[in-house]
């Protein structure tokens, strides 16, 4: 980020950013608003940043597929999840890990001093959303509903829509219903909390996540507005099943998910069950035994695993799992779990192959 001339107050900076946006200088507008908010936090600035990151995508030149990006081809599985320390994380390590185990477990990606404020922010966001849903007073610093389209296709919404009472198997549902069932699935869209979206992008910049994903994909990614969520998962077992996210995202997408555990999970709190092998295609979903039309049954998974033992890693606060749309996984729960899990799930996509079901947010 270069030098930015920051104005005296939020209103001045928002007005300057609007001028920059009108000229197509999207990243300059984002830089201005970001620098201003670092100097003095403002809900108005954070809301303006959400708008600039969303509306600014349409101002960019049409993306072209990157030249020479090598595909991830399955390598001989070692029957274990590839693990790496945060200091050793590179795009080549990610590519090799995806090829070997379908994912990479990064130990200590988020420093301990950054974890507690993120957990507190998730709690504040959930509290504000729940208060708003109950028509009670809430803190607008933590919750401002993002202007999602009025209707969203259930086929693209994943598990959240499947949890909706009486949700149709095809067709479209109102955005407010999508928001409600996302909450029922223990999630809140990060764009619904301008403050948490700001904090997340600060984290992306500080940890070099954006640069890593750009190198891996071969182009600077877009974040998905409707597939980046703050998670607070209760201990009790939730509806769900084995799946590949590509079942509702599509086969030919440049995808990169950064799933960050903010509380210890996998033993006392829900974690993830994983098939630690690379799949070069999407598996056929929706068998009679599967939980949803887009999910896989236990038998489907055992056959696809081809003898590779299923994994339930233990995540410490600050650990992250990186994977794409072909990893077979599910939420891991058991009757012995008594604690809830806080996490951030952030899906990034190549602009040149961005899924039509998703709404782009500029990184």
pLDDT at 1: 56
Q: How far is CA 301 from CA 247, 257, 296, 327, in A?
A: 14, 21, 7, 11
**Dist CA 73 CA 25 (whole Å):** 38
Phi, psi of 135 (to 5 degrees): 60, 35
pLDDT at 8: 87
In sequence order, what are the residues at sequence separation of 6 or more whose Cβ sits closer than 8 angstroms to the Cβ of residue 111?
Answer: 318
**Dist CA 304 CA 39 (whole Å):** 52
**Dist CA 296 CA 303 (whole Å):** 11
CB 263 within 8 A of CB 342: yes
In sequence order, what are the residues at sequence separation of 6 or more whose Cβ sits closer than 8 angstroms to the Cβ of residue 207?
Answer: 86, 109, 110
Domains defined along the chain, listed by start:
10-59 (no CATH), 82-362 (2.60.120.620)
**Residue ranges of the chain with pLDDT lower than 70?**
1-3, 68, 76-78, 150-175, 237-240
Convert the pLDDT of each residue in 255-299 to its tens digit.
999 999 999 999 999 999 999 999 989 999 888 887 778 789 999
Structure tokens at 36: 């201003």
**Dist CA 290 CA 298 (whole Å):** 8
CB 269 within 8 A of CB 263: yes
Convert the pLDDT of each residue in 108-145 to its tens digit.
999 999 999 999 999 999 999 999 999 999 988 999 99
**Dist CA 81 CA 101 (whole Å):** 5
Place of tokens 């708008």: 51
Other residues' Cβ atoms within 10 Å of the Cβ of residue 293: 14
**Dist CA 316 CA 95 (whole Å):** 23
pLDDT at 68: 66
CB 161 within 8 A of CB 181: yes
**Dist CA 282 CA 325 (whole Å):** 9
- Positions of E strands within 26-116: 82-85, 103-107
**Dist CA 245 CA 285 (whole Å):** 11
Q: Please list the alpha-helical segments (H only) found in 89-135.
A: 91-101, 112-133
């Amino acid at each position: 980020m270069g030098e930015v001339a920051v104005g005296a107050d939020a209103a001045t900076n928002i007005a300057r950013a609007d001028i920059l946006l009108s000229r197509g200088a999207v990243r300059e507008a984002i830089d201005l608003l970001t620098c201003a908010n670092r100097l003095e936090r403002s809900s108005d600035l954070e809301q303006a940043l959400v708008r600039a990151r969303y509306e600014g995508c349409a101002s960019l030149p049409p993306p072209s597929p990157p030249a020479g990006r090598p595909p991830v081809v399955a390598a001989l599985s070692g029957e274990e999840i590839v693990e790496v320390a945060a200091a050793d994380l590179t795009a080549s390590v990610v590519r090799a890990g995806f090829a070997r185990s379908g994912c990479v477990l990064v130990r200590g990606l988020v420093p301990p001093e950054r974890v507690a404020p993120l957990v507190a922010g998730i709690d504040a966001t959930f509290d504000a959303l729940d208060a708003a849903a109950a028509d009670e007073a809430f803190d607008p610093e933590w919750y401002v509903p993002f202007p999602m389209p009025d209707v969203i296709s259930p086929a693209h919404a994943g598990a959240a829509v499947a949890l909706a009472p009486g949700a149709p198997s095809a067709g479209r549902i109102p955005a407010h219903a999508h928001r409600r069932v996302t909450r029922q699935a223990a999630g809140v869209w990060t764009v619904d909390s301008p403050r948490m979206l700001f904090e997340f992008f600060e984290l992306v910049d500080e940890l070099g996540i954006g640069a890593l994903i750009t190198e891996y994909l071969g182009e600077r990614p877009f974040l998905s507005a409707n597939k980046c969520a703050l998670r607070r998962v209760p201990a009790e077992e939730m509806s769900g099943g084995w799946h590949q996210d590509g079942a509702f995202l599509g086969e030919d997408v440049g995808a990169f998910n950064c799933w960050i555990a903010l509380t210890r999970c996998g033993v006392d709190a829900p974690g993830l069950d994983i098939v630690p092998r690379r799949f070069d295609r999407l598996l056929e979903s929706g068998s009679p035994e599967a939980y949803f039309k887009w999910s896989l049954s236990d038998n489907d998974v055992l056959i696809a695993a081809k003898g590779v033992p299923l994994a339930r890693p233990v995540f410490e606060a600050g650990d992250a799992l990186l994977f794409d749309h072909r990893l077979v996984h599910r939420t891991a729960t058991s009757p012995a779990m008594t604690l809830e899990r806080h996490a951030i799930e952030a899906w990034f996509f190549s602009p040149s192959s961005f899924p039509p079901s998703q709404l782009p947010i500029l990184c």
